[in-house]
Structure 1
Amino acid sequence: MTTPPPPPLPTLDALRALVADAAHRAATLLATQGGESTSDGDDGIDYGGYGIAEVTADIARFVAQSGDDVHTGPAAAHLGIGVGEMRRLATAHRYGGRAAVATCLAPRHADPDVLAAAEHAVQPLRPSPTAPVERHHNHLTDAPARVQLRYGPDNRWHPYVERYDIWHPAGPPNTDPAAAYRTARTALRGPGVQPKPRRH
């Protein structure tokens, strides 16, 4: 019986990215143990166990921090998603860490009073103030303005904008829904500059 050949080794670029990622994780753990807060979204939020969402967040973090699109395709294939969705998850991580990835992945429950208060806060900013605003789970959607706010597990509003019928993360989250709405409107006026990978 012939022994099957070993799987191909990772490329040098992939190994370098893995080493950089491991160094980042080690620095984050040391900072956390030392009592310092971190800003990459590893904020102690309970995401319900280490499951699919956590694996996806880890892969999104890896792609986001590598700063190189060469890892996007293999990462998307590993998760069984499209390259475009992988890019959106990585962008979400750059903006808001793990909480932003969780917010990007799927709708979740939100207190209706929280959504109502957010809708009231953004009303003066809406270009079509008489058009209806859609509330769905944790999503507040102003379709005519192509703006959507998503209330994340970090209790912050994550701005999204619609481009070619797809909602894209548009900027860092904010506890103030009006500020998040302004961020989305600004993103629509600009070319959609990608945030830089987080470095610690």
Structure 2
Amino acid sequence: MNSAAAEPLPHGGTSGVRSVLDGLTDPPPSPLPGLDVLRALVADAAHRAAALLDDAGSGRALAGPAEDVDDITADLARFVARTGDTHLEPAAARLGVSPGRMRLLATAHRYGGRPAVATFLAPQPADPDVLAAAEHSVQPLRPSPTAPVERHHNHLTDAPARVQLRYGPDLLWHPYVDRYGTWQPAAEPHSDPAVAYRAARTALRAQARR
């Protein structure tokens, strides 16, 4: 890499920190998307490349296809998680889902990446002993300790508390809360189900204060 200072661009900044798209004002020819979309795609590609380099340097493996989520869904969830509602509706239309569901996919990715998207999409088989151990771990934290806890595939649901834990392909517990009759991702996943349960309860209390 050339160590010389980056040359200034006509619109300000340097070639080392600004995209060439920043110097364009005319819309690109059809069928290319608009400039705002192109800029978002370039920024997302740069972020993805940086993440790949960081993962390679740290020895951490990137999410793989074994997590049972297709690449398009995972990439669109990641893209919307990074860019916000600006591209929410086009992404939802591309996947054939409602904007509300697309927002939840993006929220899941924001909390836990591709494994969280896979965990959100559908129940997966889980070792019954793992679920039983998790239920035992969260029992002292439950506000209604005598109420039944439902185990379904990789889901552990404490309905009276409006808390659900989902065991993901990353072997982490993903906290969910019941909001308006929908189970929604609530916090970052954790290897300890008790920590994940507390995170879900904290998310509910924060919502109640709004």
Unpaired segments ≥5 residues, structure 2: 1-28
* 1:32 Cα offset (Å): 3.4
Matched, 1:58 2:58: no
Q: Among 40, 58, 61, which residue is 1:36 paired with?
A: 58
Which structure has more RCO (C-alpha within 8 Å, separation ≥ 6)?
A: 1
Unpaired segments ≥5 residues, structure 1: 1-5, 193-200
| Aligned 1:139-154 pairs, distance under 5 A | 139-154=155-170
SS at match of 1:158: strand
Q: Which residue of 2 aligns with 1:198?
A: none
Q: Among 44, 48, 65, which residue is 1:25 paired with?
A: 48
- Structure 1: which amino acid aligns with 2:168? G
Matched, 1:122 2:159: no
Q: Which residue of 2 aligns with 1:177?
A: 193
Matched, 1:110 2:126: yes
Q: Among 10, 13, 16, which residue is 2:39 paired with?
A: 16
% identical aligned pairs:
69
- Structure 2: which amino acid aligns with 1:28? A
Q: Which residue of 2 aligns with 1:47?
A: 65
* 1:47 Cα offset (Å): 2.7
Query: Normalization by structure 2: what TM-score?
Result: 0.80
- Structure 2: which amino acid aligns with 1:48? A
Q: How many residues align?
A: 181
Tell me, yes or no, if the aligned pair for 1:152 and 1:158 is still in contact at 8 Å.
yes
> CA 1:78/1:88 → structure 2, altered by over 3 Å: closer, same or farther?
same
Structure possessing the higher radius of gyration over alpha carbons: 2
Tell me, yes or no, if the aligned pair for 2:154 and 2:168 is still in contact at 8 Å.
yes
* Cα distance between partner residues in 2 of 1:44 and 1:23: 16
* 1:12 Cα offset (Å): 1.8
SS at match of 2:70: helix
* Cα distance between partner residues in 2 of 1:55 and 1:22: 14
* Cα distance between partner residues in 2 of 1:83 and 1:132: 34
Q: Which residue of 2 aligns with 1:3?
A: none
Query: Normalization by structure 1: what TM-score?
Result: 0.84
Tell me, yes or no, if the aligned pair for 1:45 and 1:153 is still in contact at 8 Å.
no
Q: Which residue of 2 aligns with 1:165?
A: 181
- Structure 2: which amino acid aligns with 1:36? S
* Cα distance between partner residues in 2 of 1:137 and 1:54: 24
* Cα distance between partner residues in 1 of 2:54 and 2:166: 29
